[in-house]
């Protein structure tokens, strides 16, 4: 969908594909170059781009928005176009007995849990591979647009191939736990997916600002707190009831930028952050990345608080009402 070799001057200043199409399982197809005059040369448009016939099964998609920073985009299809290909895919009703319904999100995921990838490996049609979650959180470096960025990822041993990227990663119950996006080209079956919390935070932001009636707002917004954190006392904690365990660590404030939101809330270096309270709901902090996860869900007029310990005393900041100006648009 994004091609760094694209000529953005001929594409409205964007390197996003001008034409995006999808195919349903059971109705797969592939585009073919148009050659109307039969000279064995593909026809091209006024910009020199090849003209394609996408076939009767192709469903046109609209690129709503997305972010390279998190490697997630939101695409939209018309229900009528989906039903024109498969009248049984009644996504509008979301009934359990239909062939298509809204995705179910997993409440959590753990190392050792089944990880099932659905995608289009090597462009040969939709297929499924299965493995397990190897690491619930790992930072990898990807260069999507000739810019190296660090991405928090789920590591899996589920087989992925070129064409799998952008497909769903599911647990054994068919619940979404991530979106596959990368693989290790040196070592076999060390592959990666964007974690569910980032997927939902980005997608919810895109959908919200695409439907708010304000053309000035678009894409992904995140609350920047102006604080850096480090971790200490990291350990693995096993839960016998679930049969899984998780890493738990103390999240410690390292620095606070002068005048930042964190500064206005009274946080200081050395504070141990134990929870975030968002609109009255408390979210415990057991990993440092959970702050960023939550920051993607914050919207204008939300009220944010931190629960923390300082000198052995448990404290809670005053509520901070977020103005839209405090939200940063993410590329």
Tell me the three state secondary structure of residue 209: helix
Please give the backbone phi and psi of residue 4, each rounded to the nearest 5 degrees, phi first.
-70, -15
| 254's tokens | 């390292």
Q: What's the average model confidence in pLDDT over 289-311? A: 97
pLDDT of residue 91: 52
pLDDT of residue 321: 98
Res. 13: pLDDT tops 70: no
CA–CA distance from 195 to each of 72, 108, 283, 288 (Å)? 11, 10, 18, 15
- Condensed to tens digits (0 to 9), the pLDDT of residues 72-110 reads 999 999 988 988 898 876 554 444 445 567 899 999 999
Q: What's 2's DSSP letter?
A: B
Distance between alpha carbon 214 and the CA centroid of its chain, in Å?
23
Closest CA to 177 of 128, 140, 132, 222: 132
pLDDT of residue 9: 66
**Residue matched to tokens 């995006």:** 20
- Condensed to tens digits (0 to 9), the pLDDT of residues 18-27 reads 889 999 888 9
Question: What's the fold here for domain 219-330?
Answer: Pdz3 Domain (2.30.42)
Question: What's the fold here for domain 114-199?
Answer: Thrombin, subunit H (2.40.10)
**Residue matched to tokens 């991530």:** 178
Q: What's 298's DSSP letter?
A: -
CA–CA distance from 237 to each of 78, 139, 309 (Å)? 45, 21, 21
pLDDT of residue 191: 96
C-alpha–C-alpha distance, residues 103 and 326, integer Å: 32
User: What residues does each domain of the chain span?
Assistant: 8-85, 114-199, 219-330
For 260-281, the three-class secondary structure string (H helix, E strand, C coil) is CHHHHCCCCCCCEEEEEEECCE
pLDDT of residue 292: 96
pLDDT of residue 83: 86
pLDDT of residue 90: 58
Q: What's the average model confidence in pLDDT over 298-315? A: 97
| 311's tokens | 């000198």
| 328's tokens | 């940063």
Q: What's the average model confidence in pLDDT over 5-12? A: 65
Res. 155: pLDDT tops 90: yes
pLDDT of residue 93: 46
C-alpha–C-alpha distance, residues 127 and 96, integer Å: 22
């Amino acid at each position: 969908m994004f091609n760094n070799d694209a000529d953005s001057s001929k594409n409205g200043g964007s390197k996003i594909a001008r034409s995006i199409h999808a195919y349903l399982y059971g109705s797969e197809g592939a585009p073919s170059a148009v050659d109307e005059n039969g000279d064995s040369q593909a026809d091209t448009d006024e910009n020199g781009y090849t003209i394609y016939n996408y076939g009767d099964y192709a469903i046109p998609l609209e690129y709503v928005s997305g972010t390279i920073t998190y490697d997630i985009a939101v695409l939209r299809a018309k229900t009528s176009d989906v039903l024109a290909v498969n009248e049984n895919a009644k996504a509008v009703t979301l009934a359990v007995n239909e062939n298509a319904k809204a995705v179910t999100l997993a409440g959590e995921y753990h190392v050792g849990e089944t990880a099932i990838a659905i995608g289009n490996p090597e462009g040969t049609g939709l297929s499924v591979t299965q493995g397990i979650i190897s690491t619930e959180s790992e930072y990898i470096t990807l260069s999507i647009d000739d810019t190296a960025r660090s991405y928090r990822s789920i590591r899996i041993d589920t087989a992925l191939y070129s064409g799998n990227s952008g497909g769903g990663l599911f647990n054994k119950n068919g619940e979404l736990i991530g979106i596959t996006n990368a693989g290790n080209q040196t070592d076999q079956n060390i592959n990666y997916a964007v974690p569910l919390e980032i997927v939902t935070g980005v997608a919810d932001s895109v959908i919200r600002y695409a439907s708010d009636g304000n053309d000035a707002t678009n894409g992904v917004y995140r609350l920047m707190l102006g604080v850096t954190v480090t971790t200490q006392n990291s350990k693995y904690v096993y839960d016998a009831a679930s049969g899984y365990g998780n890493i738990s660590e103390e999240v410690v404030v390292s620095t606070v930028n002068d005048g930042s939101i964190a500064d206005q809330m009274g946080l200081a270096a050395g504070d141990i952050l134990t929870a975030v309270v968002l609109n009255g709901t408390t979210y415990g902090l057991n990993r440092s990345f959970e702050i960023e996860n939550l920051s993607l869900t914050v919207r204008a007029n939300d009220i944010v608080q931190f629960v923390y310990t300082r000198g052995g005393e448990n404290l809670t900041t005053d509520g901070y009402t977020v103005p839209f100006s405090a939200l940063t648009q993410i590329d």
